[in-house]
Amino acid sequence: MIRFATLFDTLDRTTKTTVKVAALAAYFREAPEADRLWTIALLSGRRPKRAANSTELRTWAAEAAGIPLWLFEEAYPVVGDLSETIALVLPPPTGTSDLPLAAWIGSLIALIGQHADIRRRAILDAWDQLATNERFLYNKLITGGFRMGVSQGLMVRALSQATGHAETELAHRLMGDWTPATTDWAALIESADPAAEGARPYPFALATALDDPAALGEPAEWQAEWKWDGIRGQMIRRGETFALWSRGEELITDRFPDFAPLAQALPNGTVIDGEILAWDGNRPLPFARLQKRIGRLNVSRKLLAEAPAHLLAYDLLEEGGIDLRSLPLAERRARLEDLLNALPAGLPIGPSPAIGFADWEALARTRATARAEIAEGLMVKRLSSPYHVGRRRGDWWKWKLDPFTVDCVMLYAQSGSGRRANLFTDFTFAVQDGEALVPFTKAYSGLTDAEFNEITRWVRRNTLEKFGPVRRVPPELVFEIAFEGIQASPRHKSGIALRFPRMLRWRRDKPVTEIDTLDSLKALLARHS
């Protein structure tokens, strides 16, 4: 555990990816194989089953610390993390341990299903042998949610440095249903795996934000499409290999079992760039529906039925095993449509429609209807352009809608967690409804640390009431909130819910009397739903 805790501390103390990758790579070279395997498992979201639930952990920790449970519960929101709160309240350990990570995990797995007394004894014993930073990680092993500030991509890069295997190949090897109990280092990482070698994606072509389309010149030289609000993905079928990559080059094949039929239906040697969307049979569903599925390793049948995934294809990058990326977009697009038209009906894939337009003004009018189409705006691409590597200014543009904004006043402030544990960063805002103020949204990002510092001092001096970590403050500070969408929501007092609300500006210039009204938000809702 000491080696693993040292790795974690190194990763935690730096924001430099080079340092993180180097530390991980060294760990993958030096740690015992079983520890390496578990580290990969943890960093890719696999964890042992819970040996104790959160209530048990809190109770046992409070007991060991000699404090009442209510006091533990008061400290928890201040720290913002259960594992850390437990690590901090416990009395200093009376012993030490040099057991490796895998052995600790083994002992936790052995506890599953045991009587509470046995689990309690074992966990109290463990706490008594571990230093604060080790305890924190031990608790994380139980509660899950291991992040360590390392994406799967970074982990794969480090693994690639340590083993000499290509990153894309490793990402493919790490897919699927393995656990450290069902495989070993040699089988997972070192054995020959032709399917993994075939999964290699192309770098995504990216677009630049567009302000004024008139600068693009002749409309006939351009193709417009909706900028869908989903997950950009690259689908690959090469022989027995079928892979779906996200734009972050994360392999997400397993998250979307909906696409499994395409593994056979797509012709051999096909690579498609498109947008993964939740689909109602004919058109996309709002992003919120897809969001429910993201982050879940195992998607339930119910979710699959509620929000079936669909790929709207933008581009064809490889056909019959031939790299098409240097062909002009118009040519790739024609081949894409031919390929998709030749597929049997009923598959979860289709072309993202091209939008015809006579002039830029007509296109601007189309763009204004994007929200009704459940799109974020438009993509404008030069018909003669190749499929660039990364972002290359000039050929691909995104022409997004401006966000909605509302001026409102802060009613409640709550301290942040994690990085901002001793600052007030989470605010609840209200708009006017006649004489009253109605809370309608929360937001917690968009300001600078200096502004959060200043607001934190103000909140401390102006607290009217405290409810746990929440403080009620006088309605004096006015903010401009930006958001991407608005929905009716019977669960909220205001009757509305915002999508992606964030603070655009602290409006020191604006008095509370000039904030927006609930009526104006309801009118917005009526126009956009």
Partner 1 sequence: MSNVSGNRSDDLLERVLPGSILCDMANDPVLTFTDKGIFCPAGGFYIDPWRPVDMALITHGHSDHARGGHNRYLATEAAMPVMRHRLGAIRGETLRFGDVRRIGGANVSFHPAGHLPGSAQIRVEVGGEVWVVSGDYKTEPDGLCEPFEPVRCHAFISECTFGLPVFNWTPQPEVMAQVNEWWAANAAAGRTSILGAYSLGKSQRILANVNPDIGPILTHGAVEATNRVLRGQGLSLPDTVWAGPDITAKTHPGALVIAPPSALNTPWAGRFTGASQAFASGWMAMRGVRRRRGLSQGFVLSDHADWAGLNWAIRATGAERVFVTHGYTQVFRRWLADQGYDAGIVETEYEGDEGETEDDIEVVE
Give the footprint of partner 1 on this chain (CB under 8 A): 12-15, 65, 67-68, 70-72, 74-75, 78-81, 84-85, 88-89, 92, 136, 416-423, 449, 453, 457, 460-461, 466
Indicate the residue among 71 and 220 with the shorter CB distance to partner 1. Answer: 71
Q: Which is nearer to partner 1, 58 or 367 (CB)?
A: 58
With beta carbons less than 8 A apart as the criterion, state whether 215 and 402 touch.
no
Nearer to partner 1, 34 or 423 (CB): 423
Query: Residue 453 Cβ, how far from partner 1 at the closest point, in Å?
Result: 7
Closest CA to 154 of 136, 178, 172, 171: 171
Q: How far is the CB of 136 from partner 1 (least distance, A)?
A: 8
Instruction: Give the residue with the Cβ less far from partner 1, 355 or 421.
Output: 421
Q: What is the 3-state secondary structure (H, E, C) of 422-446?
A: CCEEEEEEEEEECCEEEEEEEECCC
> Cα separation of 258 and 238, whole Å?
18
Residue 395 beta carbon to partner 1: minimum distance, rounded to whole angstroms: 37
Residue with tokens 């294809």: 313
What is the DSSP track for 337-357? HHHHHTSPTT-SEEEPPEE--
Tokens linked to 449: 């640390």
Nearest to partner 1 of 64, 512 (CB atom): 64
Tell me the closest approach of the beta carbon of residue 64 to partner 1, in angstroms. 11
Q: How far is the CB of 62 from partner 1 (least distance, A)?
A: 9
Give min distance, CB of 443 to partner 1, in A.
18
CA-CA distance, 285 to 225, in Å (whole number)?
17
Would you say 79 or 304 has its CB closer to partner 1?
A: 79
The three-state (H, E, C) secondary structure of 33-85, written as one string? HHHHHHHHHHHCCCCCCCCCCHHHHHHHHHHHHCCCHHHHHHHHHHHCCHHHH
What single-letter DSSP state applies at residue 324? -
482's CB contacts (< 8 A; 6+ apart) are 403, 404, 405, 446, 501, 502, 503, 504
Name residue 129's amino acid.
Q
Q: How far is the CB of 352 from partner 1 (least distance, A)?
A: 40
- What is the gyration radius of the CA atoms in the chain, in angstroms? 26
Q: Which of 156, 1, 206, 174 is nearest to 87 (CA)?
A: 1
CB of 132 to partner 1, least distance (A): 9
**CB-based contacts of 162, cutoff 8 Å, min separation 6:** 24, 25, 26, 28, 29
3-state SS class at 267: coil
353 versus 418: smaller Cβ distance to partner 1: 418
Which of residues 133 and 246 has its CB atom nearest to partner 1 in the complex?
Answer: 133
* Positive or negative: CA dihedral 526, 400, 275, 353: positive
Q: What is the closest distance, in whole angstroms, from the C-beta atom of residue 74 to partner 1 in the complex? A: 4
Q: Which residue lies nearer to partner 1 by CB, 122 or 421?
A: 421
